[in-house]
């Protein structure tokens, strides 16, 4: 800013060639720069004015400026309003009448905005309008600028917390009880004072953690109020707390063991998350993690289902197969790796199908679902048929099991 409190902007434009041969003949190509940004933009004229369609023209730059400025303005007002925007893409259009000595008459911005959580539509429209009122470029232009947004709202946690979602976690707990118990017995200290089940769902994994670790006190933590209420019914002898695990500090500090099964798969940046969880433990405390490395199957219905599940989880910036992201995890200086390996666990094909069928019932209508309702129903029916069959094949889960110790 200068002494008169103005922002100043510089841009350079460069052309060379010859106009000697008249209007028809000269090259419209030129180069633009916005110092100090090092990249230059190759520019041209609109093909209607003998430019090249290979390069952007000045009319498009104005349009792009309006689109980009609305994007930045919206992200800023949304962030200030604590609305979690996950994606923004604009397919903008400008109109210029053919008459001479006019300019752009109308700019139409059509952003598709993805937000996490059930934010009311009226609130989102109000934020877009506020961003438009604050947009520097729209405020600089004489032509009309309109914004016609569409919104996609995604629930914060893909697999939900309905009764059905809780039901699928019963089956999951049953199927993977043996490898999970083995990890806890191998990794947890003897008779820990305080054990935490991070992302406890309706409490089945918390119960298993309490039993396998013999902890004197076991507390399950989950962001879902519904899951925590269900957990209090499933394991009334244990404690449960509602807390978002992407936030530290935890409501309980200095645990000597924390366990998280299939939770990092639903959170962006699993490595950063695991690192921050380690800092919440007592010095020398143990963090036990279980995440899917991959699910080995050649059954086409499963292959199809898994591709969809990946898309739905990825729409929240997370990764269904979080195991590979943790394969080379080095938590130094906040901790060290005691074990990081993959255990194989074969699951009977009808059981795996039942698990997947329950999952699909939970998130089949998710806004991030790329399939039409009829195709989801067909996949659902195929999974139900496999679940009811006596197919002898197996699907093998490759489970990454990690034991970390927090720094002393």
Q: Which residues bind ligand SAM (CB under 6 A)?
A: 157, 159, 161, 169, 172-173, 199-201, 204-205, 222-224, 227, 244-246, 261-263, 266-267
Bridge-based pairing of strands 394-406 and 335-348 is antiparallel
Q: How near is the Cβ of 203 to ligand SAM at its closest, in Å?
A: 8
The residue count for the chain: 408
Instruction: Give the HSE-up count for residue 191: Cα atoms under 13 Å, Cβ half-sphere.
Output: 1
In angstroms, give the least distance from the CB of 84 to ligand SAM.
12
How far does Cα 236 stand from its chain's mean position?
33
CA distances from 292 to 199, 262, 341 (A): 15, 7, 11
- Cβ closest to ligand SAM, residue 107 vs residue 313: 313
Alpha carbon distance 368, 345 (integer Å):
30
Gyration radius of the chain over CA positions:
28
Query: In this structure, are residues 393 and 299 in contact, taking their beta carbons and an 8 Å threshold?
Result: yes
Q: Which of 138/173 has CB closer to ligand SAM?
A: 173
Spell out where 58-132 has E strands: 85-90, 93-95, 106-109, 111-116
Contacts of 316 (CB under 8 A, 6+ apart): 86, 116, 154, 156, 157, 158, 266, 268, 368
Residue nearer to ligand SAM on the CB measure, 187 or 201: 201
Angle at the Cα of 397 from the Cα atoms of 394 and 402, rounded to 5 degrees: 160
> Encoding tokens for residue 116?
């996490």
- Least distance to ligand SAM, CB of residue 386, Å: 21
Contact 175, 347 (CB under 8 A): yes
Q: Which CB sits closer to ligand SAM, 369 or 407?
A: 369
Q: Which is nearer to ligand SAM, 227 or 400 (CB)?
A: 227
Q: Which is nearer to ligand SAM, 90 or 291 (CB)?
A: 291
Measured from the CB of residue 170, what is the shortest distance to ligand SAM in angstroms?
9
**In the complex, minimum distance from the CB of residue 337 to ligand SAM, in angstroms, rounded to a whole number:** 21
Tokens of 266: 């639903």
Burial call 142-155: b when 16+ CB within 10 Å, e when fewer: ebebebebeeebbb
**Minimal distance in Å, beta carbon 359 to ligand SAM?**
9
Distance CA 319, CA 15 (A): 48
Of the pair 129, 177, the CB lying nearest ligand SAM is at 177
E strands, 206-333, are 217-222, 239-242, 255-261, 281-296
Measured between alpha carbons, how far is 388 from 357 in angstroms, rounded to an integer?
A: 11
Minimum separation from the CB atom of position 381 to ligand SAM (A): 24
Q: Nearer to ligand SAM by C-beta: 131 or 223? A: 223
Alpha-carbon distances of 266 from 104, 157, 311, 371, rounded to whole Å = 45, 7, 12, 21
Q: Toward ligand SAM, which CB reaches closer, 205 or 213?
A: 205
Least distance to ligand SAM from the beta carbon of 216, Å? 21
Closest CB to ligand SAM among residues 267, 295: 267
Task: Give the shortest CB-5-to-ligand SAM separation in angstroms.
Answer: 43
Residue whose pair of structure tokens reads 């470029």 in the numeric block: 137
Q: What is the nearest approach in angstroms of ligand SAM to the Cβ of residue 233?
A: 15
Q: How many DSSP H helices and E strands does the chain contain?
A: 12, 16
């Amino acid at each position: 800013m200068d002494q008169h409190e103005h922002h100043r902007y510089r841009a350079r434009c460069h052309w060379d060639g010859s106009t000697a041969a008249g209007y028809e003949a000269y090259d419209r190509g030129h180069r633009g720069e916005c110092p100090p940004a090092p990249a230059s933009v190759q520019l041209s004229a609109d093909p209607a004015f003998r430019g090249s369609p290979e390069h952007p023209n000045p009319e498009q730059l104005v349009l792009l400026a309006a689109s980009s400025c609305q994007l930045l303005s919206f992200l800023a007002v949304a962030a200030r309003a604590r609305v979690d925007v996950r994606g923004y893409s604009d397919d903008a259009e400008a109109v210029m009448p053919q008459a001479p000595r006019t300019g752009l008459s109308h700019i139409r911005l059509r952003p598709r905005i993805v937000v996490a959580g059930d934010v009311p539509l009226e609130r989102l429209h109000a934020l877009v309008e506020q961003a438009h009122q604050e947009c520097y470029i729209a405020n600089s232009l004489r032509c009309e600028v309109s914004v016609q947004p569409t919104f996609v709202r995604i629930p914060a946690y893909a697999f939900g917390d309905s009764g059905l979602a809780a039901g699928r976690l019963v089956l999951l707990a049953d199927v993977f009880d043996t490898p999970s118990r083995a990890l806890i017995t191998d990794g947890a200290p003897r008779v820990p004072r305080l054990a935490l089940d991070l992302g406890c769902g309706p409490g089945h994994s918390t119960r298993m953690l309490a039993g396998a670790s013999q902890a004197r006190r076991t507390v399950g933590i989950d962001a879902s109020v519904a899951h925590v209420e269900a957990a209090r019914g499933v394991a009334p002898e244990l404690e449960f707390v509602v807390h978002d695990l992407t936030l530290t500090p935890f409501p309980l500090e200095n645990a000597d063991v924390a366990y998280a099964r299939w939770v990092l798969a639903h959170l962006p940046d699993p490595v950063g998350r695991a690192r921050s969880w380690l800092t919440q433990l007592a010095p020398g405390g143990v963090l036990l993690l279980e995440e899917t490395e991959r699910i080995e199957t050649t059954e086409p219905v499963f292959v199809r289902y898994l591709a969809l599940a990946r898309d739905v989880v990825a729409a929240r910036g997370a990764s269904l197969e979080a195991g590979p992201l943790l394969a080379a995890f080095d938590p130094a200086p906040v901790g060290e790796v005691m074990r990081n390996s993959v255990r194989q666990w074969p699951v009977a094909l009808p059981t795996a199908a039942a698990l997947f069928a329950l999952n699909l019932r939970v998130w089949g209508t998710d806004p991030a679902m790329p399939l039409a309702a009829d195709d989801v129903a067909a996949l659902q029916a195929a999974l139900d048929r496999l679940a009811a069959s006596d197919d002898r094949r197996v699907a093998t889960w490759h489970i990454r099991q990690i034991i970390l110790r927090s720094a002393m």
